[in-house]
Structure 1
């Protein structure tokens, strides 16, 4: 039923804009990389089901070659059943259940990484689209001013040079548009791969809202997927240590036999068998299991340090983008806008086109940096959300 609903959804969204939430939901429902982990989880359920079962009994049939007239001539049917030492079966089940919890945690971690990649690619598309739109607008403005400048009846050498500079700038803008078209196509291809279906149009709007707070972000790392994976690995290894300790105690083999004799009475035999751990193998294996548990505990501590360092790096990127954006929007662009107005009004009375083009491209450069700052801010935010274990 889920597959049918997903297919209908993809069919309906194939020709219209789709938002980021819809892409993430659809990808989490049907991404092949996640399906492989789901299958491993399903396979482990069978492991759990058999983890506390008894081993299959053994049936042995033997016959000797003595003459039937002798009392020792017999055919024997023997049944052997291994009975594990107390709590071994339950401990074995705990190992399988710990593996199940570990696989679920790995699935969650894979989902958070997939969501982060989808977000980052979507934000890249937003950035490229915004850059393309603004360059398209500047192409229009440049053409408009070239036409205006050429409309003057008398064009001296300086004015002719101004037109040439404007035309060269126009060519540069056209080149940038061509490069951006290629990048947008590539970005949509990457997003379609991550989403596991074809995305043709993305409906997305980005902005910079609040200033990031490092202390607040650090407090939100309790659900970090990598740390939780190490917790689950530690839980599984602890169960293995318990099993290694229990293996020092021998399992019991219950034996029951029935001897058949042609000329004498048949009889039953009963017995008990034990494995004798006298060579120290179990002790070595127990120490090995304990060492591995200490190793995982050290890995967890290292992961915690790594996650904190990564968070600080993303925080620095986020803070820098926030500051750059506000410097441009609150300080630089208002000044350039005033210069732009002055040069724009001067152009209408035949002033130097060189100065106008310079101001125009200063404004373009600032607006491009503002767009990139917004995109970088949100990319860093998406990476931090992945560290927090978020799926949206």
Structure 2
């Protein structure tokens, strides 16, 4: 169906989110993190030790000993490790969301570029046809003086420029389809898309939607992860307990059991140093978050200014310039039909073409910057 009628932008986006290899890769990491969370709540493996000595069996000290040792972490340490693993999974999920948002933005940008190129190709074809028709019309007159012949030559040169431009646009369209197919992870050779400029953008409304920014979400998750790591490392100052039980076998004497308790002694300040390192990392994460807030706000200002400029250019072209050129075009077109100067007609024709190109570029720029802003708000459509 897509081959016959063209895929829509929404269809391409939904298909890409399912098939994209980069997204599949981080999905695998998220699935792996679930096992990390499960493992974080487990005790360390017990240690089994078997020892024997070389004394004669008649000696009381001759024995073989089997010892089992289990380390029991201080209260709260397992919960802290689980919190670190959970925070890491949350960070991966937020990174996945950012990748999806970036993929959607890239697909939109390519789709809007494709619309732009196809629209430019359409007006180029239209002006090729107009120029060719007027050359043929002008050449049909019985007598052509030297100045009129120069007009025909200029029209023919302009026609060559249009054909060169058409060739470039055709190649660019094909390249854009290839790039779009790569992003969508499926072959696309037709795209059903129609763009126009509707409403004037509102900066205040756009700012209200920035709370869902995925980059900011990632920085929040990094702060939460560092907080969890700091909590976990701070508990290392409290000793773990090791429970020990052993059984001693003596060939010619009574066998016996050994029982013991051991603790780790954090006496070298290593844990304090590690805690200071994590404290510094937490402060760094918080600073990075604040910098991200400022960066997002600056990006919004840049995209908004460009979007507003495109809106204004579009209306200047359509509300002011094009009506005037259209009237000039009608006058010059009528003059050409009576054998008047073709130079003036070509000038007006290409002035109108230039304005129509500006209109197309403004529409494309409006939507490309809108896509940038939508990415800032975490949009997945």
**What TM-score, normalized to structure 1?**
0.96
User: How far apart are 1:66 and its partner, in Å?
Assistant: 2.1
Q: 1:383 aligns with which of 366, 372, 375?
A: 372
Kindly provide the CA deviation profile for residues 38-72 of structure 1, in whole angstroms up to 9, marking residues without a partner as x: 11111111111101101111111111222222222
Aligned equivalents of 1:165 and 1:110: distance in 2? 51
Q: 2:248 aligns with which of 236, 251, 259?
A: 259
* Paired position in structure 2 for 1:122: 111
Name the SS of the counterpart of 1:285 in structure 2.
helix
* Paired position in structure 1 for 2:265: 276
Kindly provide the CA deviation profile for residues 82-109 of structure 1, in whole angstroms up to 9, marking residues without a partner as x: 1011011111011001011000000000
Tell me whether 1:81 sits opposite 2:77 in the alignment.
no
Kindly provide the CA deviation profile for residues 262-302 of structure 1, in whole angstroms up to 9, marking residues without a partner as x: 22221111100111001100000011111100000000001
* Paired position in structure 1 for 2:195: 206
Residue pairs, 1:11-30, within 5 angstroms: 12-14=1-3, 16-30=5-19
Name the SS of the counterpart of 1:361 in structure 2.
helix
**What TM-score, normalized to structure 2?**
0.98
Q: 2:124 aligns with which of 120, 131, 135?
A: 135
Residue pairs, 1:346-365, within 5 angstroms: 346-365=335-354
* Paired position in structure 1 for 2:138: 149
Aligned equivalents of 1:307 and 1:72: distance in 2? 74
2:5–2:192 Cα contact (<8 Å) kept = no
Aligned equivalents of 1:162 and 1:72: distance in 2? 119
User: How far apart are 1:22 and its partner, in Å?
Assistant: 0.6
User: How far apart are 1:193 and its partner, in Å?
Assistant: 0.9
2:325–2:351 Cα contact (<8 Å) kept = yes
Aligned equivalents of 2:345 and 2:282: distance in 1? 69
* Paired position in structure 2 for 1:197: 186
User: How far apart are 1:247 and its partner, in Å?
Assistant: 0.3
Q: 1:36 aligns with which of 25, 29, 47?
A: 25
2:2–2:190 Cα contact (<8 Å) kept = no
* Paired position in structure 2 for 1:234: 223
Name the SS of the counterpart of 1:256 in structure 2.
strand
* Paired position in structure 2 for 1:318: 307
Aligned residues: 381
* Paired position in structure 2 for 1:3: none
* Paired position in structure 2 for 1:179: 168
Tell me whether 1:168 sits opposite 2:157 in the alignment.
yes
Root-mean-square deviation over aligned CA pairs: 0.9
* Paired position in structure 2 for 1:50: 39
Kindly provide the CA deviation profile for residues 181-224 of structure 1, in whole angstroms up to 9, marking residues without a partner as x: 11111111111111111110111001111111112111210011
2:90–2:221 Cα contact (<8 Å) kept = yes
Name the SS of the counterpart of 1:247 in structure 2.
helix
1:15–1:200 Cα contact (<8 Å) kept = no
